[in-house]
Chains A and B, each alone.
Chain A
């Protein structure tokens, strides 16, 4: 007699695409920019690829008045505007049929409305009480929502997907972690850093740990230094209320940039499960030496030109104080104090209104020990550099010296490129597609654990504390430049320079 516990022999060999169990995805902050630009297009892309559960519902939840019909209309507009796939009425109709809206209010009635809507989708859509709650809301709104959810009886599984920034400093992150921990298990919490969903960031792990040639030289003995740049050409895009509080250090440095450092510097995990990977990352974060004031540069952009257009300075942006001391640029020299990386500087920089949008990790190797062609090299014999292009053109490049054709022995630096599109022609999924699906499936590998967040904040708190002691002379770099002169000096003092991007 067969039983349900016997393994299903028909499943063997079926590379069944990961499809979550039936569930309802509740988006807090349904009318927000993130929902329109990223979340809904990602959900639509998953629907096109039939990766969403067959029994699925999306519940928009927000403080603004609205109906399910209005919510569907807004989301349809978002999909047609920002989606990567051509709009298909069939796909949309199926997705839209499961869309509802619940208005939240500060009095608590809103949560009852949400409960009613969720009970309805369970009954109509068969979502079996499984809930993924996406917090696309400011940090200040998270705690009250978590408390409200804790009161909800859970008929199925619950997953909390929380956008960055997670807290404002270590104390607030601790507090939020504690509050969440009182009501939910860590395995139910998915703190999003969308950089971890990018193919190239995951490919960095593949590059390091699936290729035998890199790991032996991935250390202080062969690497001269590492440069990580997260450059944006845009300004604050109307987000002054958030940015005035956050600045570059909380907006990007604390999360994206430190995650890139951690993935670049981490030891090989024993396997690719969530805790193994995150254990190694947190070891790196704990090993980062707190940089002294001379090793950190902050900046704020003034008026300047980007792509030929004159753009206002930060203090001229709408909603920004005319004497604001919020930084829009941070550069730092970090050291990871462990056997692999001791004395190897990690130069990192993040900034807004820089000349171009570019996120790159550059591993610069030490020079050849005996360069017989030194005098014949164009512009001097340059060291090998391994470039990991995170955005916009995802791929890898290795800079090597090559002989120029012809008589003599003239050496020139050339790039050997691996461009994702040249080998894998399928469109790269957006980071949010991967992460939303992972969260619904319950795979936390690409999410940030509580202890990682706290270590990241500990470093940022130490830097910010040093800034409190003196007043910055802002603005100190024109829009469209690579940051204040002190950023260049940070490397020049060590006889190095930022890569020309």
Chain B
């Protein structure tokens, strides 16, 4: 679906230069066989991407670009490097009927002190009046200034708690009062939640055993506990998610596998807070140890 993209790169650039280059890229001649161009105007997508996550982030972006051709601002913090802001810009074109739609990707490497106040870089680049989604790659530095100020800008913060070294749900819960939160690990549980819901009312009194990757299993157990209002056995850590209900293995109905791009796309389509997720996470803040014997 993606037709092509035009690109530009600059070292130690200003926001004004970035805007000017983007405008130049957008206004370049569309070519004889192309109709008029239109910039998509649905959201600004900001991603905080430490260098070790950059490759994965770019792959995800590639997969979802056609579905959400937004203005994407990738912030790559490199505090250990000298200099200001290095930028790589690309304007990606997608055909839509008789015209082309363009989305923009602004990759900014923030060197030295420029890491300290990322909101001051994002604000002038955000598209006015449209929602701003913040995807935070890896484990957030919850107490840091750059986390707090970007969270304050965002209409939705998207994390993947399976990327965390430590499951710091208690600190994530502090964000709930400020903005909506999505967790890709939670999104992956969707088919399991649908399947488990089918077992009502028997599930209320049945023995439930949850095993799987730490974040996914922890969230699923927390959800079941909060919804059913009962204590559940600790999770077992294992590679694949699994649930035993009354001694029987259950399996979610086979859905086409969702790629990281699909999962992120779905979260970008969401509106409003998710009180059920918040309830599960809040229950973890006061939870007893959730991890049992390792598999």
Contact = CB atoms under 8 A, between A and B. Distances in A.
B194 A16 contact: yes
Contact of A10 (B38, B41, B96, B227): B227
B96 A419 contact: yes
A6 interface: yes
A235 to B, nearest CB: 25
Given A9-B228, A10-B203, A10-B227, A426 B96 contact: no
Contacts of B276: 12-13
Given A2-B205, A425-B68, A14 B38 contact: no
B274 A11 contact: no
Interface in A3-49: 3-4, 6, 8-14, 16
B20 interface: no
A422 B102 CA distance: 9
A66 interface: no
Given A11-B200, A422-B38, A425-B68, 6 more contacts: A10-B224, A11-B197, A13-B277, A14-B197, A393-B97, A421-B101
A423 interface: yes
Nearest to A11: B197
A14 B41 contact: no
Q: How big is the A interface, by class?
A: 20 to 34
B186 to A, nearest CB: 10
A120 interface: no
Contacts of A419: 38, 96-97, 99, 101
A423 B41 contact: yes
Interface in B200-239: 200-201, 203-205, 224, 227-229
B10 interface: no
A215 interface: no
A417 interface: yes
Q: Of A9, A11, A393, A421, which is in contact with the most chain B CB atoms at under 10 Å from its CB?
A: A9
A9 B229 CA distance: 10
Nearest to A426: B67
Q: Of B67, B201, B275, which is in contact with the most chain A CB atoms at under 10 Å from its CB?
A: B201
A187 interface: no
A183 interface: no
A460 B258 CA distance: 51
B91 to A, nearest CB: 14
Contacts of B99: 419, 422
A500 B73 CA distance: 42
A63 interface: no
A367 interface: no
Given A8-B200, A14-B193, A425 B255 contact: no
B66 interface: yes
A147 interface: no
Contacts of A425: 66-69, 94
Interface of B: 38, 40-42, 66-69, 94, 96-99, 101, 190, 193-194, 196-197, 200-201, 203-205, 224, 227-229, 253, 255, 274-277
B201 A422 contact: no
Nearest to A417: B38
Contacts of A496: none
Contact of B201 (A3, A54, A393): A3
Contact of A12 (B66, B101, B204, B227): B227
Contacts of B224: 10
A14 B201 contact: no
18 contacts: A2-B200, A2-B201, A9-B227, A10-B203, A10-B227, A11-B197, A12-B227, A13-B276, A13-B277, A16-B194, A54-B253, A393-B98, A419-B97, A421-B101, A422-B41, A422-B99, A423-B42, A425-B69
A8 B255 contact: no
A417 B197 CA distance: 43
A367 B66 CA distance: 40
Given A3-B201, A422-B38, A10 B196 contact: yes
A4 B275 CA distance: 24
A422 B40 contact: yes
Nearest to A54: B253
Contacts of B229: 9
Nearest to A421: B96
Contacts of A14: 190, 193-194, 197
A8 B197 contact: yes
A30 B204 CA distance: 46
B62 to A, nearest CB: 14
A4 B69 contact: no
Contacts of B97: 393, 419, 421
A422 B96 contact: yes
Interface string A419-463: 101111110000000000000000000000000000000000000
Nearest to B270: A15
A2 B204 contact: yes
B180 to A, nearest CB: 13
A456 B227 CA distance: 51
A289 interface: no
A5 to B, nearest CB: 9
A340 interface: no
Contacts of A239: none
Contacts of B205: 2
Given A419-B96, A421-B96, A423-B41, A10 B197 contact: yes
Contacts of B228: 9-10
A50 interface: yes
A3 to B, nearest CB: 7
A14 B195 CA distance: 11
Contacts of B196: 10
Contacts of A54: 253
A467 to B, nearest CB: 39
B255 A6 contact: no
A11 B197 CA distance: 6
